[in-house]
Amino acid sequence: MAIKATPIPGSLLLTPKDHALILIDFQSQMSFATKSIDAVNLRNNAALVANAAAGFGVPTILTTVAEKSFSGPMFGEITSAFPGQKLLDRTSMNTWEDAAVIEQVNAIGRGRIVLAGLWTSVCIVGPALSAIDQGFEVYVVADACGDVSAEAHDRAMDRMVQAGARPMTSLQYLLELQRDWARTETYEMTTGYAKAFGGAYGLGIIYAKSMFNAHEG
């Protein structure tokens, strides 16, 4: 039997209106021991995810652990994307066990959760497996997470994927929210974030625009 294709997006693709983002423990103390990704890439990728979410109006929870007593402030690249937003500070390593965070998740009321943060094997695995167990769909921005070793990060990603989590990257997250260059109302914003935080892809956009006045799409 022939299958008929239609020009509509797949249901597994994210949209700005179908998920909440939780950014977890992007803090100085946590980053010092992170070895699976270098600090520059980690900060750029975190900034790309944060700004994409803020720009597209994705409800976002910012949470820290022992901010004042041990782990230090959240990356400025993230907090600057959400000026004035309260950080939910926890004692629990598993964000999903924090009542204030869960209150926000329930207030947002979306069945898909996107996670990024430090460390992958503890502070991301915990909420990912807990949310999946409660019926949520979970996506993990793998290159906006980090751990004490590549082995720790990779095994954590394996464990989450085996449980049903869907891995993605920071640039993928941004472009999946845009998904069509004909969406002119967010075109400049999307390419602006790519130029600022998108590495070689961003340089390519700058070059093409400067040399040929080229335009995506």
pLDDT in tens, 84-110: 999 999 999 999 999 999 999 999 999
Burial level of 41, CB count in 10 A (0-12/13-18/19+)? middle
- Residue among 177, 118, 174, 173 at smallest CA distance from 141: 173
For position 1, what pLDDT does the model report? 83
Mean pLDDT of 24-50: 96
For position 208, what pLDDT does the model report? 82
Decide if 79 contacts 102 (C-beta within 8 A): no
For position 113, what pLDDT does the model report? 98
pLDDT exceeds 90 at position 196: yes
Architecture of the domain delimited by 19-179: 3-Layer(aba) Sandwich (3.40)
Mean pLDDT of 195-217: 85
Residues in the chain: 217
Cα separation of 114 and 140, whole Å?
Answer: 6
pLDDT in tens, 138-180: 999 999 999 999 999 999 999 999 999 999 999 999 999 999 9
Tokens of 70: 């041990």
> In the chain, where are the structural domains located?
19-179, 181-217
pLDDT exceeds 90 at position 67: no
Catalytic (active-site) positions: 123
**Which of the given ranges, 64-73, 134-143, 191-200, has the highest pLDDT on average?**
134-143
Residue % of the chain over a pLDDT of 70: 99
Residue % of the chain over a pLDDT of 90: 89
pLDDT exceeds 90 at position 217: no
Cα separation of 160 and 166, whole Å?
Answer: 8
